[in-house]
Amino acid sequence: MTALTPLPSPNPLTEPYWQAAHQRQLKLPRCEACTKFHFYPRSACPHCGCRNLSWHAVSGNGEVYSYTVVYRAPSKSFAPEVPYVVAVVALDEGPHLMTRLTQIAPDDVRIGLRVTVDFRRMDDETTLPLFRRAGWSL
Ligand SMILES: [Zn+2]
């Protein structure tokens, strides 16, 4: 990714997520009533409706639930990245998270592949939580 890559714009609901990512931690909102995690961040628990939510670190481990391979860059900034894999990762804690997979050839990706979070610092304010094959690192 280049400096021209579009970056997230945190809002009050998502800011804790991005702040944690910049500290190389994956944190998700958890309901204090039913104790279930959820993602994406929202103002009430999608499981029970409770508004008493707090942020907690999660393992960063999960498996590929679904994925697609992007061969045609959606903009010039992504052109050096193609082909790349956009995946929905089912985290061990339950929530599903849309992300990109790194350090893996698209042909090696499979449903159920174990993955772990991997952080890519983009600038002084933004770090993206991406995922790579579990147990592998370069
Ligand atoms: Zn709940």
Q: How far is the CA of 40 from the centre of ligand 1 (A)?
A: 14
Q: What's the confidence (pLDDT) of residue 101?
A: 97
Q: How far is the CA of 51 from the centre of ligand 1 (A)?
A: 8
DSSP string over 17-46 = HHHHHHTT--EEEEETTT--B-SS--SS-T
Residue 138 maps to a domain? no
Residue 108 maps to a domain? yes
Instruction: Specify the number of domains making up the chain.
Output: 1
pLDDT in tens, 60-72: 999 999 999 999 9
Q: Record the tokens describing residue 124, joined without a space.
A: 């002084």
Q: What's the confidence (pLDDT) of residue 6?
A: 85
Q: What's the confidence (pLDDT) of residue 136?
A: 63
The per-residue pLDDT string of the chain (138 residues; one tens digit each, 9 = 90 and over) reads 554 678 999 999 999 999 999 999 999 999 999 999 999 999 999 999 999 999 999 999 999 999 999 999 999 989 999 999 999 999 999 999 999 999 999 999 999 999 999 999 999 999 999 999 998 655
Q: How far is the CA of 30 from the centre of ligand 1 (A)?
A: 8
Q: How far is the CA of 31 from the centre of ligand 1 (A)?
A: 5
Q: What is the domain extent for residue 115?
A: 15-133
User: Looking at residue 19, what DSSP letter applies?
Assistant: H
DSSP β-ladder status, 127-133 and 96-102: parallel
Residue 2 maps to a domain? no
Residue 65 maps to a domain? yes
Residue 10 maps to a domain? no
